[in-house]
Amino acid sequence: MFNMVFGIGIAFVVVRSSLKLRGAGWPGHDAAGGARLVMASGYLAFSSMLSNSEMVRNSPALLNLFDVKTNPTLFLVMAYGIRRLPYMVRSAVAGLQQTSARTRRAAANMGAPPLVSLRRVTLPLITANLIAGALLAFAFSMLEVSDSLMLAQREDFYPITKTIYELFQLIGTGKYLASALGVWAMLFLAVTIAGSSLLLGKKMGALFRV
């Protein structure tokens, strides 16, 4: 949901706004997202700072929410959402570029408010792009490595990549189990990319362009 809301909003700014610097900040976001270890370390430090504050230490509910050693779910969601936001933005941008702005203007001429025009005209036209972006964001989030290895510190909350890493350390059948899970992850990603390619068509390459 985070990626969907912010992805659509940023895509509208990039494609439909008249701001001169509307696309200047997005490459910087990609570059920042690429610094995975730096971002993961930042989340870890932020969690440590919050969990050591007096207010959080005195509240079991807040400690469970903000301490990655107790429950890393919040910070994993934040890390995955920010890291994979470009997929949703680029999918939405591709959809808006394929959709004529005349449809929005026609809806406005018929008296439709901007939100109604967005909900009943624009979003249905770019639904395939949004589904493709959501699939890619979800699949790559499941297979995120750096954030998962650093933030997931309890076995109960291990994502797939952290599970593969831990299984690989086991003596005996650990390497075989890790390999099997790795093959499953590759097949899952391949199916997701193939499905997204069918939805996006020629615009698929734009999602991975640097």
Which region holds residue 125: left if phi is over 0, alpha if psi is between -120 and 50, else beta?
alpha
Burial class (CB in 10 A: 0-12, 13-18, 19+), 115: exposed
State the pLDDT at residue 159.
92
State the pLDDT at residue 50.
79
Alpha-carbon gap, residue 110 to 132, rounded angstroms: 31
State the pLDDT at residue 210.
47
Q: Rg of the chain over CA atoms, in angstroms?
A: 20
State the pLDDT at residue 15.
83
State the pLDDT at residue 183.
94
State the pLDDT at residue 207.
57
Alpha-carbon gap, residue 77 to 68, rounded angstroms: 12
In sequence order, the 6+-apart residues with CB closer than 8 A to the CB of 67 are 47, 50, 51, 56
Query: Which amino acid, one-letter code, is at 174?
Result: G
State the pLDDT at residue 203.
60
- The tens place of each residue's pLDDT in the chain, 210 residues long, gives 778 888 888 888 888 777 665 655 555 455 545 556 667 777 778 888 877 888 777 788 887 888 888 888 888 988 888 888 888 888 888 888 888 778 877 888 888 888 888 888 888 888 888 888 888 889 988 888 888 888 888 888 899 999 999 999 888 888 999 999 999 999 999 999 888 888 776 666 555 554
Domains along the sequence of the chain with CATH: 2-208 (1.10.3720.10)
